[in-house]
C-alpha cells in the first residue's frame, strides 16, 4: 500500500502514463545550464521520466526505482536514453547529447517495497564529452549536517495532482532536516534505513516531485543525495527522502574499481600478448 502511494508521487507513474510531468515545486527556472552540468534527463521511449547525475566519463547515478514500472516489472533498457547538456526537454541545442544504455546496475539489496537502497548505476554506450554544460560532480564523503542549505534540480511536476508539461529545468534551495524528526517521519511509512536522510522545509512549499527521482541534491558543491521518495510534494511536515551518497560511497566506487581493473587487464593483454607470440 505504501509503495503504491510512494510510486504515485514519483517517476514510475510517468513510465506507466507515458507522459513527463516536469518541475521542482517552489523552485526557479535554470537560466544557465553550465551551473548544472551534471544534471541528466532519463527518457523512456523518448519521454522524460527520471533525473540522474553524471558520475564519470561513462556512468550515471539515479534512483533504483526508476528501473521499474508500477507493476514491478523492470523497464527495457533498450528503450532508455541518457540525455545531457540541454535545459528544455523538447528543444535540443548544440550542447545536447543523447546516449543509449549499456547496462543498469541496481543495488543488490534494493527493496521495491520500502525503497531501501534506492540507488542504481547506469553505464552508457560511448563516452561523455566534457564541456561547460556537461561534466561530473564530486561526491560527498560525509552525511550532511542538519540545517545545511542545499540545492535540488530537475524537470519534476509543480504539484502532485498536476500533470502539465514544463520544458525548462528548475532548481530550488532546501535544508537538511534533523535526523530524529526524519527517522520518526520515515518510520510512519516504511522501516528506516541508515542510507536515508530528509530534506525540505517543515512548513512545506519547496520540494522535489514526480519526474525528479534520481536527480541531485547538492550541498557545498558536492553530490550529497539522490532524490528518492516522499508523501505528497511540498506538504507541511512531509519532507522529501534522499539516498545518502556518503553512505553508498563504497558501493559506488566498487563498481568503478571493477571497471577500471578490467580495462587495465584488457590493456595489458593488448600490450603483452604480441610480445609473447
Q: Predicted confidence band at 167 (pLDDT cuts at 50, 70, 90)?
A: confident
**Mind listing the pLDDT tens digit for each residue in 176-195?**
999 999 999 999 999 999 99
More confident residue, 133 or 13: 133
Residue 3 has pLDDT above 90, yes or no: no
**Which pLDDT score is estimated for 5?**
42
Spot the catalytic one: 41, 48, 59, 65: 65
Nearest to 151 by CA among 66, 245, 247, 227: 227
Residue 87 has pLDDT above 90, yes or no: yes
More confident residue, 211 or 169: 169
Q: Predicted confidence band at 227 (pLDDT cuts at 50, 70, 90)?
A: very high
**Which pLDDT score is estimated for 18?**
35
CA dist 88 and 95 (Å) reads: 12
Residue 272 has pLDDT above 50, yes or no: yes
More confident residue, 271 or 203: 203
CA dist 124 and 98 (Å) reads: 10
Q: What is the mean pLDDT of residues 138-148?
A: 96
Predicted model pTM: 0.84
Could you confirm whether 86 is annotated as catalytic?
no
Three-state DSSP class for 17? helix
- Rounded to 5°, the CA angle 140-196-34 comes to 40
Residue 141 has pLDDT above 80, yes or no: yes
Q: Predicted confidence band at 111 (pLDDT cuts at 50, 70, 90)?
A: very high
Could you confirm whether 213 is annotated as catalytic?
yes
The mean-pLDDT minimum among 112-116, 134-138, 208-212, 228-232 falls in 208-212
**Rg from Cα positions in the chain:** 18
Residue 166 has pLDDT above 80, yes or no: no
Which residues neighbour 36 within 8 Å (Cβ) at sequence distance 6 or greater?
30, 153, 169, 171
CA dist 66 and 164 (Å) reads: 20
Spot the catalytic one: 86, 118, 207, 212: 118
Could you confirm whether 118 is annotated as catalytic?
yes
Q: What is the mean pLDDT of residues 236-261?
A: 82
Spot the catalytic one: 41, 153, 213, 228: 213
**Which pLDDT score is estimated for 16?**
44
**Which pLDDT score is estimated for 239?**
92
Which residues neighbour 8 within 8 Å (Cβ) at sequence distance 6 or greater?
none
Residue 65 has pLDDT above 90, yes or no: yes
CA dist 13 and 21 (Å) reads: 10
**Mind listing the pLDDT tens digit for each residue in 35-53?**
999 999 999 999 999 999 9
**Which pLDDT score is estimated for 96?**
96
Residue 9 has pLDDT above 60, yes or no: no
Distances (CA, A) of 200 to 37, 97, 123, 146, 266: 23, 31, 30, 11, 46
End-to-end CA separation in angstroms for the chain: 63
**Which pLDDT score is estimated for 22?**
30
**For residue 100, how many other CB atoms are within 10 A of its CB?**
13
Q: What is the DSSP letter of 204?
A: -
**Which pLDDT score is estimated for 210?**
75
Amino acid at each position: 500500500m505504501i509503495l503504491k502511494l510512494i510510486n504515485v508521487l514519483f517517476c514510475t507513474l510517468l513510465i506507466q502514463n507515458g507522459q513527463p510531468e516536469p518541475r521542482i515545486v517552489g523552485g526557479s527556472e535554470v537560466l544557465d545550464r553550465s551551473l548544472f552540468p551534471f544534471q541528466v534527463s532519463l527518457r523512456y521511449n523518448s519521454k522524460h521520466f527520471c533525473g540522474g547525475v553524471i558520475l564519470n566519463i561513462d556512468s550515471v547515478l539515479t534512483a533504483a526505482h526508476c528501473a521499474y514500472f508500477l507493476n514491478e516489472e523492470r523497464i527495457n533498457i533498450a528503450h532508455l536514453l541518457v540525455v545531457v547538456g540541454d535545459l528544455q526537454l523538447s528543444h535540443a541545442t548544440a550542447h545536447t547529447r543523447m546516449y543509449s544504455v549499456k547496462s543498469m546496475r541496481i543495488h543488490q539489496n534494493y527493496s521495491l517495497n520500502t525503497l531501501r537502497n534506492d540507488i542504481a548505476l547506469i553505464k552508457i554506450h560511448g563516452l561523455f564529452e566534457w564541456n561547460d554544460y556537461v561534466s561530473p560532480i564530486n561526491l560527498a564523503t560525509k552525511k550532511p549536517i542538519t540545517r545545511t542549505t542545499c540545492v535540488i534540480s530537475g524537470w519534476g511536476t509543480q504539484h502532485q495532482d498536476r500533470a502539465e508539461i514544463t520544458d525548462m529545468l528548475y532548481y530550488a534551495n532546501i535544508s537538511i532536516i534533523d535526523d530524529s524528526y526524519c527517522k520518526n517521519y520515515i518510520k510512519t511509512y516504511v522501516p528506516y534505513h541508515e542510507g536515508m536522510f530528509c530534506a525540505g522545509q517543515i512548513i512545506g512549499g519547496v520540494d522535489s516531485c514526480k519526474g525528479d527521482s534520481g536527480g541531485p541534491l547538492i550541498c557545498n558543491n558536492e553530490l550529497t543525495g539522490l532524490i528518492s521518495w516522499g508523501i505528497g510534494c511540498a506538504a507541511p511536515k512531509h519532507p522529501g527522502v534522499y539516498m545518502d551518497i556518503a553512505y553508498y560511497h563504497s558501493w559506488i566506487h566498487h563498481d568503478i574499481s571493477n571497471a577500471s581493473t578490467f580495462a587495465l587487464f584488457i590493456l595489458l593483454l593488448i600490450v603483452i600478448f604480441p610480445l609473447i607470440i
